[in-house]
Structure 1
Amino acid sequence: MTQNASTPELLWRPDPDRVAASRMAAFRTWLRAERGVEVADYQALWEWSTGDLEAFWGALAEFLEVRFHQPPSRVLAEDTMPGASWFPGATLNYAEHALRPGPGKADADLAVIFDREDGRHEELTFGELRRQVAAVRAALVDLGVRRGDRVVALAPNTPSTLVAFLAAASLGATWSSCSPDFGARAIADRFTQIEPVVLFAVDGYVYNGRSFDVRPTVAQLREEIPTLRATVLIDYLSAEATLDAAIPWNTLLAEHENAELTFDPVPFDHPLWVLYSSGTTGLPKGIVHGHGGIVLEHLKALALHCDFAPGDRFFWFTTTGWMMWNFLISGLLVGTTVVLYDGSPAHPDLGVLWRLAAANRVTYFGTSAPYIQTCLKQHLRPAHEHDLSALRSLGSTGAPLSPEGFDWIAEEVGREVQICSISGGTDLCAAFVGASPDVPVWRGELSCRMLGAAVAAYDDTGAPVTDEVGELVITRPMPSMPIYLWNDPSGARLHEAYFEPYPNTWRHGDWIRITPRGSAVIYGRSDSTLNRGGVRMGTSEFYRVVESFDEVQDSLVIDTSAAGTEGELLCFLVLSPEVALSELEPRLRAELRASLSPRHVPDRFVQVEEVPRTLNGKKCEVPVKKILAGTPPERAVSRDALANPDSLRAFLDLTRWESPKVL
């Protein structure tokens, strides 16, 4: 799978003064003085960081002042995957790093800004945050919560959710959360696996101008999770909200308002939280990350790559069911104010997040590539309509950001704003390709491989390639790789998920091209490749062309080819109102033929009302392909893993599984 590419347009160049003042530059200076390591530029630093893992991660921990209560015997005891043993013997605590005194963390310094779509606004200083965490920690201790117990939350992206998490982490309990807009079955599929002892839950939430009562779901969960000892009800919609046998949040805080804040040191690989795979084809995998790996990985990303410092304000549009929430709240590790938002990104209009950024003087604005694409198609002009003078960087993830998305950001947000297109995964709770303050931004490209992330592209034979599209792999361990999957004592599921077919190598499941500049382009999932006449192409290239049409609101492309046979190429389209497919189709065919190839012009275009998406908003390419191949839908995809399960009906109509009894 090759890609002919010339050097793209340079959209952003690092300012020399900013580079000199960055933490990345300070780290290189420190390495020279303290370790005798000379690295001329970012590429040389990356090569050293992935070539000598022990030296890099050990130096990083010292430079960023990781506090070990018990020091490690070494940095990396086993350089294997899976099974790498990081910082053996060390003890530490994530919550302590988030709340310990330091630059930007004085009691009066602002820790959290929160806005809700209906106008609710809250702010918490570090002093107030510490007091609330101390109170909830004391309450959890009174409820019998101990190290290793699981504490879960059915709650949105709010200060109380953050407080509950930090309290649980402070005593070594393991955290997990779901967004309250998840269906009851999807929540139970996640929480019942890990047998939690305490549930934090809101009484309801607001979205798109409506209020939703969550208490019936909470009552159902309590019946399905026999291990629960207590439920804490957070009065998020109404101060009068009650639930039988539940402890009111405000009562919990008041009864422990004078509690002392302490932190229990735990081993480096002690479980911090459980995140989940999408669960489209069965129970979601419970992905367990450790305290130490997340502290190191997030400190590296936020201090060095994002160049955060006290006074910065960090926003990412996310829910508590997406790993970007975990990444966002880690801004506290570096003394940055985290900006939380709960609500629809399009209510009352698509400008709501840009107004939030202006009002709160956000310096780093994070969102998804589909949101950027929507802003582009709606012809928004944020910098012309709002004061975004504080904005320094714009992060994008969740899907490949198209070159046109890069152009829109440069033109309508600001050419001085660094475009930080990143790619990573829930599996590592980290980005492994992204941006750095000392690396340029090229149109359509992720600027660099992250420090310590030995990312490579493999061809069909398992050999590394440069400037060719290949399988995205990681060839050396990273501290934030899962310590295990839940209910996988032998490690067989972990090995099957990430370490086949390449021994001792992490296979992530994406197509990537690494350029001679050290930048990268992501082309979509490797298990949903368009293989036409032996010419393979990532789906992101297809979507870039189709969704550039204003008349197309969303799309899904499926290659029904199976091993040894070439099937149909089908393009499903969600069209704007009053757009006729018959009139649009010839233009689509002509543009796809010219921009991609004649082989990648679909055999059929089919109009649908919705594209099936997971609860985290990802297109369901592989499940739909399975359904179109004749797999019964109940085996192809878990209905409860979808944000819009009824969207599957249009695809069932194309198969023999048309009976309304199926779904």
Structure 2
Amino acid sequence: MAPPTTTNSWQHPSPHLTRVDAFRRQVNRRYGLSLETYHELLRWSVTELEAFCRELWTFCGVVCSAPPERVAGPDDGALDRMWPRPNWFPGARLNFTENMLAAGLAAHPDAVAVSACREGGAAWRHLTWARLRDETARYAAALRSLGVGQGDRVAVVTTNSVEALLVLLACGSVGAIMSSTASDMGAKGILERYLQIRPKVLFVESRVVYNGKTHDHREKLGGVVAQLRKAVAELEVVIDVSGSSWSDGRIKSLDNFLDVRTESLRFAQVPFDHPIYILYSSGTTGPPKCIVHGGGSALLQQKKDFILGFDLGPDSTYYQYTTTGWMMWNYLISALSLGARIVLYDGSPLYPSPDYQVQLLQEQGVTHYGTSPKFLAALKQAGIKNMPPLDSLQMTLSTGAPLSAEIFEWFRSIFPSKVGLVSATGGTDLVAGIIGGSPLLPVHHGELPAPSLGMAVEIWDANGKNIEDTGEKGDLVITKPFFSMPITFWGEGGEEKYRKAYFDTFPGVWHHGDFVRKIVKTQGYEVLGRSDGVLNPGGVRFGAAELYGIVDQFSEVQDCIAVGQRRKLDADEQVLLFLKVKTPPLSDGLRDRIRTTIRKQLSSRHVPAHILEVQDIPYTMNGKRIENLVKDVVCGRTAKVGGTAANPESLEEYEKFVDLPLVQSSAKL
């Protein structure tokens, strides 16, 4: 029996009935072991990586036309190093889309595979597995009629819609490479991406509803198309999925694109590491890096997360609020590979009110829910007026940023006690998770329970020493290869950019860029922010997330951001904490209460030199604070703003803080 859930922790009610426990038992039988705990299974999965990979291939049910010759190549030492990247499962031949559809078609072809709606629950569409297969066949036939084949790039600028899903599945079936961008991205951001990958076909959505209003994007998209046509000779066709009329007669309608001879769905058999999609680094300070992911690589890594970490199965319904510009969209789609139903939502999560997202969980019988700390904070501030029973909901996964203990505790007080909340860290770099939850482990508020199976996670100091068991803060590293390491970075010099991105800090070891610590007592983890955003007053390093967790306790504050300020003549760095308050102006009393709480719950060394009021906090379009750009501005440097900033105009406000007086750090006292 599971230990009872307490006010500051949660435990899965039936861990012995979960898929990960079945996997543990399988490993014990196969290898004559007696692994009893998750941590014992984790240790085995890392030390016996080759055996773990073989077992996972079988347990996850990968569909292939030719089995792999071995786990990794090209030599016997391939799994002993991370760079160059090993060639996973050489000899295997498979198809990404076939794997997306096979389990659902075999288990329940007439059940609903995909439910999709527009903002506020309007215009629901439900596709059975058989209908999803047939629609994918139509899109694949249309792509083939345009000459799209293996290695060709197909790009989309669309909402989170059935059409975007069908483009991805069609690309996978013919062996093409898809890349997606959210419809609300500006022209600069779109061009920064697609000028690099040079697509053969471009899908756009010119009419979009967001926050209760219809937005016509034809002017923006017309400019994008014109520049792409001028620079990308490969671009042959542009298709508008909205059905809008264009003065440009060369832009096809979706109906025109699909007006081809119907044929049965075929699956191009390609190697395990054959590319399926291109994702992008944040691009907040310039053109983003184009991260190429393999179809089999992403498939197996994500199946591992879903089956062994999230306990997702063919009877599950998974809803993740996301746009097509965030890696969580690609992650959401892969739940189809388990035969699970997925829910697609297009629009603002706050319209008509944040409450609707919770109502959607009830109405659609969602069992597994994906969200972000930013939305949970907005839901907390708005208050849930009518909490439904959420009979089906089992697990909630929070990603995108650290989740504070304050939000954990609020969630536990509002949502049914049976529902688990797990925070996870991963990234676009691996289109999956690194540290997250397991049904075999308790979830302590403010902590991430453990690394995912097969992930050789350690915490290193600046000298490359492993400090994970000391409780000290350091850099998250991965010391052994994993499936979804990118294939390459697209474009000239991509291999060297790839090496520098992950293996330059600690040669041969993946440096992920997260600043973390391991809690010795619980063996859980805290993510304290990005390594490049670490605050360092008086030589004392701590993460901005530590301050955010304190500010979350104050209902008067709507949002915040913390950065270090060190100008050319400064002898030390000072910490600036910027607050966006619900009812301006920011009072001295609130400042004092925040300082006192930081000093009491953290230390005097964490107290910011200045607590300042701002009108807005800069974010990426994926809902992440842009701390590095704010830091550039307040340090007097020119901020190089890329195309992914959602509200770049907000940075102008921070220019007035360049000349703040330097306050001696409490860390020196």
Map of 1:70-149 to 2, 5 A cutoff?
70-77=66-73, 78-79=78-79, 80-83=81-84, 84-102=86-104, 105-118=107-120, 119-149=122-152
Q: Which residue of 1 aligns with 2:665?
A: none
Is 1:593 matched with 2:611? no
Q: What is the alpha-carbon distance in structure 2 between the residues aligned to residue 490 and residue 245 of structure 1? A: 33
Query: What whole-Å deviation, never above 9, does each CA across 1:565-592 have from its counterpart, x for those lacking one?
Result: 3133212111113444334222222222
Q: What is the alpha-carbon distance in structure 1 between the residues aligned to residue 29 and residue 550 of structure 2? A: 50
Q: Which residue of 1 aligns with 2:347?
A: 343
Q: 2:65 aligns with which of 69, 76, 100?
A: 69
- How far apart are residue 195 of structure 1 and its match? 0.5
Query: What whole-Å deviation, never above 9, does each CA across 1:580-608 have from its counterpart, x for those lacking one?
Result: 43342222222222222223222222211
Is 1:12 matched with 2:10? yes
Map of 1:160-175 to 2, 5 A cutoff?
160-175=163-178
Equivalent AA in structure 2 for residue 230 of structure 1: V
Q: 2:575 aligns with which of 559, 569, 576?
A: 569
Q: Which residue of 2 aligns with 1:485?
A: 489
Map of 1:412-491 to 2, 5 A cutoff?
412-465=414-467, 466=469, 467-489=471-493, 491=495
Contact 2:430 2:484 in 1 (8 A): yes
- How far apart are residue 102 of structure 1 and its match? 4.9
Query: What whole-Å deviation, never above 9, does each CA across 1:246-295 have from its counterpart, x for those lacking one?
Result: 22223433534x32001001111111100001111211010111011111
Query: What whole-Å deviation, never above 9, does each CA across 1:60-117 have from its counterpart, x for those lacking one?
Result: 0012221232222210222222222211222211111001255774321110011211
Q: Which residue of 1 aligns with 2:663?
A: none
Where does structure 1 lack aligned partners over 5 or more consecutive residues? Answer: 1-7, 657-663
Q: Which residue of 2 aligns with 1:279?
A: 283
Residues 172 and 242 (structure 1), Cα distance of their counterparts in 2 relative to 1, 3 Å cut? farther
Q: 1:202 aligns with which of 194, 198, 205?
A: 205
- How far apart are residue 242 of structure 1 and its match? 8.0
Q: Which residue of 2 aligns with 1:58?
A: 54
Contact 2:373 2:399 in 1 (8 A): yes
Query: What whole-Å deviation, never above 9, does each CA across 1:336-363 have from its counterpart, x for those lacking one?
Result: 0001111111111111111111110111
SS in 2 for 1:614: coil
Q: Which residue of 1 aligns with 2:258?
A: 253
SS in 1 for 2:651: helix
- How far apart are residue 435 of structure 1 and its match? 1.0
Q: 1:288 aligns with which of 287, 292, 295?
A: 292
Q: Which residue of 2 aligns with 1:498?
A: 502
Q: What is the alpha-carbon distance in structure 2 between the residues aligned to residue 585 and residue 514 of structure 1? A: 31
Q: Which residue of 1 aligns with 2:239?
A: 232
Q: Say which is worse superposed, 305-314 or 190-199, in terms of deviation.
A: 305-314
Equivalent AA in structure 1 for residue 430 of structure 2: L
Where does structure 2 lack aligned partners over 5 or more consecutive residues? Answer: 1-5, 660-669
Q: 1:214 aligns with which of 217, 227, 232?
A: 217
Residues 386 and 490 (structure 1), Cα distance of their counterparts in 2 relative to 1, 3 Å cut? closer
Q: What is the alpha-carbon distance in structure 1 between the residues aligned to residue 373 and residue 97 of structure 2? A: 31
| Cα RMSD after superposing both structures | 2.0
Q: 1:530 aligns with which of 528, 535, 556?
A: 535
Query: What whole-Å deviation, never above 9, does each CA across 1:312-333 have from its counterpart, x for those lacking one?
Result: 1100110000000000011100
Q: What is the alpha-carbon distance in structure 2 between the residues aligned to residue 589 and residue 27 of structure 1? A: 48
Contact 2:204 2:238 in 1 (8 A): yes
Contact 1:132 1:253 in 2 (8 A): no
Q: What is the alpha-carbon distance in structure 2 between the residues aligned to residue 106 and residue 497 of structure 1? A: 43
Contact 1:435 1:448 in 2 (8 A): yes
Equivalent AA in structure 2 for residue 554 of structure 1: D
Q: What is the alpha-carbon distance in structure 1 between the residues aligned to residue 303 and residue 629 of structure 2? A: 36
Q: Which residue of 2 aligns with 1:3?
A: none
Equivalent AA in structure 2 for residue 135 of structure 1: R
Map of 1:620-639 to 2, 5 A cutoff?
620-633=626-639, 636-638=640-642
Q: What is the alpha-carbon distance in structure 1 between the residues aligned to residue 311 and residue 586 of structure 2? A: 48
- How far apart are residue 489 of structure 1 and its match? 4.1
Residues 37 and 66 (structure 1), Cα distance of their counterparts in 2 relative to 1, 3 Å cut? farther
Contact 1:366 1:394 in 2 (8 A): yes
Map of 1:361-376 to 2, 5 A cutoff?
361-376=365-380
- How far apart are residue 175 of structure 1 and its match? 0.6
Q: What is the alpha-carbon distance in structure 2 between the residues aligned to residue 579 and residue 87 of structure 1? A: 60
Q: Which residue of 1 aligns with 2:162?
A: 159
Q: 1:607 aligns with which of 602, 610, 613?
A: 613
Q: What is the alpha-carbon distance in structure 1 between the residues aligned to residue 518 and residue 504 of structure 2? A: 22
Residues 36 and 220 (structure 1), Cα distance of their counterparts in 2 relative to 1, 3 Å cut? farther
- How far apart are residue 239 of structure 1 and its match? 7.0
Is 1:552 matched with 2:557? yes
Contact 2:578 2:613 in 1 (8 A): yes
Residues 101 and 316 (structure 1), Cα distance of their counterparts in 2 relative to 1, 3 Å cut? closer
Residues 310 and 280 (structure 1), Cα distance of their counterparts in 2 relative to 1, 3 Å cut? same
- How far apart are residue 519 of structure 1 and its match? 2.0
Q: Which residue of 2 aligns with 1:619?
A: 625
Residues 85 and 40 (structure 1), Cα distance of their counterparts in 2 relative to 1, 3 Å cut? same
Q: Which residue of 1 aligns with 2:35?
A: 39
Q: What is the alpha-carbon distance in structure 2 between the residues aligned to residue 32 and residue 88 of structure 1? A: 27
Q: What is the alpha-carbon distance in structure 2 between the residues aligned to residue 234 and residue 197 of structure 1? A: 17
Q: Which residue of 2 aligns with 1:409?
A: 411
Q: What is the alpha-carbon distance in structure 2 between the residues aligned to residue 597 and residue 44 of structure 1? A: 35
Contact 1:153 1:200 in 2 (8 A): yes
Q: What is the alpha-carbon distance in structure 2 between the residues aligned to residue 252 and residue 645 of structure 1? A: 36
Q: 2:316 aligns with which of 307, 312, 316?
A: 312
Is 1:176 matched with 2:179? yes
Query: What whole-Å deviation, never above 9, does each CA across 1:454-493 have from its counterpart, x for those lacking one?
Result: 1111123211121222111111111101111112546211
Instruction: State the TM-score, normalizing by the size of structure 2.
Output: 0.92
Q: What is the alpha-carbon distance in structure 1 between the residues aligned to residue 106 and residue 383 of structure 2? A: 38
Q: 1:397 aligns with which of 379, 396, 399?
A: 399
Matched residues, number = 639
Q: What is the alpha-carbon distance in structure 2 between the residues aligned to residue 607 and residue 67 of structure 1? A: 55
